[in-house]
Amino acid sequence: MGEGAVTMPQRPYSCGIDAAIDVVGGKWKVLILWALHDGERRFGELRRSIPGVSEKVLIQQLRELEADEIVHREVFREVPPRVEYSLTEFGVSLNRALGPLGAWGKEHKQRIEGIRDRQEAAAEAKKTPAPCDDAGECVDVVAVADGVGAGATPRSRTR
């Protein structure tokens, strides 16, 4: 292992999924693998291809993937220095295994987005008190978020 490599603790895995999730766990590693699926990339290219990842997190995740022998890091002794990242054969095989998961996500993307939107609206509704009129009648915001809509039954609440 190279200088600065991350040492991962050994674990007894209960099943294959457990071992695979240990390698790709977290939001960014799978996105890094996907970004590398069609060849080597320089650090800046990777960062631009993965919106939202910070430089610090990308460096950390790349080091972990390198330590797990999923990603290869090639340093070119040039001026300016150049570093390229690519998948190892081990990493290519992992990417192939993630293909069906990506297909499932693509097939169900709209449904998942709808579920997340409803969950977010319900969580927001719990933070915000229901609007009440002058008579003390309040609209149940959760019912509105759940699709009951404008026909939501008002409920009485003491202000």
User: Looking at the chain, which residues constitute the CATH 1.10.10.10 domain(s)?
Assistant: 16-114
18's CB contacts (< 8 A; 6+ apart) are none
pLDDT band at 142 (very low <50, low <70, confident <90, very high): low
pLDDT band at 36 (very low <50, low <70, confident <90, very high): very high
pTM of the model: 0.67
Q: Which CATH fold would you assign to the domain 16-114?
A: Arc Repressor Mutant, subunit A (1.10.10)
pLDDT at 26: 84
